[in-house]
Amino acid sequence: MQELHEKKLKFLEEMANFLRQDVIKMVSHAGSGHIAGPLDMADVFAALYFHILRHDPRKPDWPDRDRVVLSNGHICPILYAALARAGYFPFEELKTLRALGTRLQGHPHRGSLPGTETTSGPLGSGLSQAVGMALAARLDGKKHRIYCLLSDGEHQEGNLWEAAMFAGKNKLSNLTVIVDRNNIQIDGFTETIMPLEPFRAKYESFGWHVLEIDGHNFEAIISAAAEARAIYEKPTVIVAHTIAGRGVSFMEQDYLWHSRPFKPGEAEQALAELRTLQGRIKSEHQ
């Protein structure tokens, strides 16, 4: 992994902001889609695809690439935006989100789009897929890593904990899980719907190395990913504390923006806020 110097930090902050704008434009054009989660995970995806991962957009099937498993597939607009900006497919194709016959479906579909490793949809099942990949890589003597993105709400699914128990028992140290701990789900706040705490202790009890970070801090994200690679005999889970709807004032921490269509003028207002933030990022690094 490259050193995170000031120039690269500015690049990542700007990239995350561009990704957020891409999400707003995509969902607005489609007339439907999830918004809060994609916005709050923009920093994590910028860090992954533009600093952390070993990957080559020119060779999406490169055998030694790191794998990204998006379990909470409904936040796929941020995955699609990151893949497009990384060069996996034409940027203009982002306009086809959720359109009839598009490669950019409402949930990722393996085989439809370069860089998409799995098909997702049923929440809670992505960790099982990632665990299988990690175990297979170990059996084959491969050195690539598996990164699995999970929502906090999908931890209410029982099969996720079966996979967590299996990963801990088999000491899958080539597996890094990143949890979007934004505390919301479609019906409200997680701790109201079905409390998840003590969250850290649950993973630790299954034999995982647990890190908790500010999911909007690039130094913290990248440092946690580096620490995970240095941990042997345990899988690592990075609990990324995020703000749902990050970057758009009227969306932040509002669970209603988990998934809802824009009203007239809202997308334009959101983009205006993000463009203002873009200018602030440039001035702060001058």
Residue-wise pLDDT tens digits, 167-193: 999 999 999 999 999 999 989 999 999
Stated pTM of the model: 0.96
Cα angle 153, 30, 77; round to 5 = 40
Mean pLDDT of 230-245: 97
Phi, psi of 175 (to 5 degrees): -110, 125
5 confidence band (pLDDT: 50, 70, 90): confident
The per-residue pLDDT for 137 is: 98
What are the pLDDT digits (tens) for 117-170?
999 988 999 999 999 999 999 999 999 999 999 999 999 999 999 999 999 999
The per-residue pLDDT for 122 is: 87
What residues contact residue 210 under an 8 Å CB cut-off, 6+ apart?
200, 203, 204, 236, 237, 239
C-alpha 284/C-alpha 118 separation (Å) is 38
C-alpha 280/C-alpha 35 separation (Å) is 23
C-alpha 104/C-alpha 112 separation (Å) is 8
C-alpha 45/C-alpha 85 separation (Å) is 11
- CB-based contacts of 228-231 (< 8 A; 24+ apart in sequence): 228/176, 229/145, 229/176, 231/173
What residues contact residue 166 under an 8 Å CB cut-off, 6+ apart?
131
The per-residue pLDDT for 145 is: 98
CB 83 within 8 A of CB 49: yes
- 6-284 classified as CATH 3.40.630.30: no
What are the pLDDT digits (tens) for 93-109?
999 999 999 999 999 99
What are the pLDDT digits (tens) for 24-47?
999 999 999 999 999 999 999 999
What are the pLDDT digits (tens) for 198-207?
999 999 999 9
The per-residue pLDDT for 278 is: 84
Name 178's bridge partners: 149, 238
Is 253 a residue whose pLDDT tops 70? yes
Mean pLDDT of 58-66: 97
Cis amide linkage into residue 198, ω under 30° from 0: yes
Report the Cα 23 to chain-centroid distance in Å.
13
Question: Where would I find the beta strands (DSSP E) of 152-270?
Answer: 175-181, 184-185, 188-189, 209-214, 236-241
Q: What is the DSSP letter of 153?
A: G
The per-residue pLDDT for 286 is: 64
Is 282 a residue whose pLDDT tops 80? no
Is 2 a residue whose pLDDT tops 90? no
Please name the helix (run of DSSP H) or strand (run of DSSP E) that holds residue 270, with its range, or none: helix 266-284
1 confidence band (pLDDT: 50, 70, 90): low
Name 149's bridge partners: 70, 178
